[in-house]
Every structure is written in structure tokens, then in C-alpha cells.
Amino acid sequence: MDSPQPLLEMEHITKSFGAVQALQDVAFRVYPGEAVGLVGDNGAGKSTLVKIISGVEHPDSGTIRFDGREVTIRNPEDARTMGIETLYQDLALINNLDIVANMFLGRELVQPWLRGAIQVLRSREMEAEARQILERLKINIGSVREKVEVLSGGQRQAISLGRAVGWGKKLILLDEPTAALGLREAQQALEIIGRLKDEGIATVIISHNLQHVFSVVDRIVVIRRGVIRGERLIGEVVGDEIVSMITGVAELRTIEGGLQPSSA
Ligand SMILES: Nc1ncnc2c1ncn2[C@@H]1O[C@H](COP(=O)(O)OP(=O)(O)O)[C@@H](O)[C@H]1O
Ligand SMILES: [Mg+2]
């Protein structure tokens, strides 16, 4: 990347759950506005790494720098304050509130004394801003005054992404964003994720669907059994080397000198 200063820089990150070493001496970087795909088999440590970034889990050792300074991410609140948003499978939207209210949920709480008198005015302002953000991300929603409960899974995710943009987040973490979506919705979700780049927002995307990852990310990082096995800029990927890195076949080949994939 031509950007000299990473937005997120993790070094020597180690994390165990009892006897299970989930992460081992992990180095992971994300540059501003960059989309990074984090791939690996089940149990490789992907979610654990993302949970550390989002403050849900804590590393046993290692350092994290964000926006140029060393940080301790004690909890999800810390992460959010720093500008890190995580999109979970069960999205934290409130069903019986409309899209505008959901997009601004919590944001008005910053100045509680402003509630009441100028609420109507704020409401119109919020509606205009919500609409503008959704337009920028090309999210097609009938009306921003629609209650969230009538939306599809893909639309809900889109609203959550719009919400993160509205909050001025710098990094969005997506753990299997397309897993629960149908084909068409998954495609739309990927398009929206791709547009976050234009907003200058960096993303980390975990997905077992390599095609999905390849269609949106700039760089792909492979983790296996808690260890980062390699990374590639998307334009530099050769053949099926990512699959080989995920399964460990590439290393076997090197170590054993000519082992075929089938014998791994
Ligand atoms: N809270 C936990 N308690 C015990 N073991 C865990 C916990 N979270 C993850 N693990 C273990 O850590 C390893 C990495 O898990 P995870 O990060 O969820 O992998 P991935 O997301 O790549 O599938 C796995 O062996 C998993 O069983
Ligand atoms: Mg996982």
C-alpha cells in the first residue's frame, strides 16, 4: 500500500482458551480505507482476531496500535469510541423503530439535553442525513420511515453499514457478512461493502466464500491454526495458492519437497 501509516497495527498477538492456542504471535495490519479479507478454515482463529479488535476478547500478549497510538481495547464500547464498528450476524437494530431512528440510535444520547424542544427539527435533519448516506451507498430502501421489522436480512445489514458510515467509523469488521443472505442479497451486500472504500472506511471481512472475498478486498490474509500463513494483494494472487495456504498444502510441498495436494 502507498499509505505509510497503518490504521490498525497488531503485533505479537497471542490468545489461548485453556489448552487451545487460538492465536500465536499474530501480526495484522489494516491501512486507512483498505478492505482486507481474513480467510482460514473453521477454528483457524479468525473470529478471535476480530473479537480482539472489537474489544470482545483480550489478547494474552501483544500490542495494538490504532490511528498512530498504542491502545488497549477493554470492551466493545472502547472500540466504538475509537471508530471501530463490528457487524454481527444478529444485527443490533431495534425492530419497532424506523430506519432513521435506527441509524441514529445512541447518537442523540451524546447530548441528552437537546431532546424535547428541538426534537422535531433534529428528526428532519436526521431523516435527510439518513437518506443521503443511503443514497451514497446506493442502498435502495422504499422509505427511511419504514420500520426495520419489515426489512429483509440484507436490507438490515445495509442499514447497519449506513449507520456505521453515519457515525464516522474508520474501521468496520464483518464476520461472515454474506452467510445468512440469499444469492442476490449477498451480491448487494458485497457491492455496499465495496462502496465503503469510497467513504474512506477500512474493512476487515471474514468469509468462507473465497469468491465473495475476492470480489471486494484489496488484500487477503490467510490464517491457519492461529498463525498467519501469508498474505497477498488481490492482483498478485497466483492460481489456487490461497486455498493451498488455507489448507497448508503449500507448506507441505515446500517442506517435503514435491508433495502433491492429494497426499496432504
Ligand atoms: N470462548 C472460547 N472458549 C474456548 N475456546 C474458544 C473460544 N473461542 C474460540 N475458541 C477456540 O479457538 C479456536 C479459534 O476459534 P475461532 O477464532 O472462532 O475460529 P474461526 O473463526 O476461524 O472459525 C478454535 O479452536 C475455537 O474452538
Ligand atoms: Mg468464526
Q: How many CB atoms lie within 10 A of CB 138?
A: 11
* Torsion sign across C-alpha atoms 27, 31, 33, 34: negative
Longest pairwise C-alpha distance within the chain: 75
pLDDT in tens, 7-28: 999 999 999 999 999 999 999 9
CA of 251 to the centre of ligand 1 (A): 23
> What was the pLDDT predicted at 234?
95
Q: Tell me the ligand closest to 223's alpha carbon.
A: 1
Report how far residue 59's alpha carbon sits from residue 16's, in angstroms, rounded to the nearest whole number: 8
Fold category of 25-263 in CATH: Rossmann fold (3.40.50)
Radius of gyration of the chain, Cα coordinates, nearest whole angstrom: 20
| 47 alpha carbon – ligand 1 mean position (Å) | 7
Residue 206 alpha carbon, nearest atom of ligand 1: 21
Instruction: Give the residue-averaged pLDDT of 93-122.
Output: 72
Residue 107 reports pLDDT greater than 60: yes
pLDDT bin (cut points 50, 70, 90) of residue 180 is confident
CB atoms within 10 A of CB 37: 26
Q: Which three cell numbers stand for residue 157?
A: 445489514
pLDDT digits (tens, 9 = 90+) for 214-264: 999 999 999 999 999 999 999 999 989 999 999 998 666 655 555 444 433
Give the pLDDT confidence score for residue 57 in this predicted structure.
Answer: 97
**Cell numbers at residue 32, please?**
486507512
Q: Alpha helices, DSSP H only, in the chain?
A: 46-53, 76-82, 99-104, 119-136, 153-166, 183-196, 210-216, 241-247, 249-256
Q: Ligand 1, residue 57: give the atom nearest the CA.
A: 1
pLDDT at residue 109 tops 60? no
Contact indicator for 151, 131 with CB cutoff of 8 Å: no
Q: Which atom of ligand 1 is nearest to the CA of 41?
A: 22
C-alpha separations of 179 from 95, 209, 242 in Å: 21, 8, 20
- Residue 199's SS3 state is helix
SS3 call for 43: coil
- Looking at residue 192, its amino acid is I
What gap in Å lies between CA 60 and CA 58, rounded to an integer? 7
**Percent helix, percent strand, percent coil in the chain, to nearest 5:** 40, 25, 35
Q: How many angstroms separate the alpha carbon of residue 243 from the centre of ligand 1?
A: 21
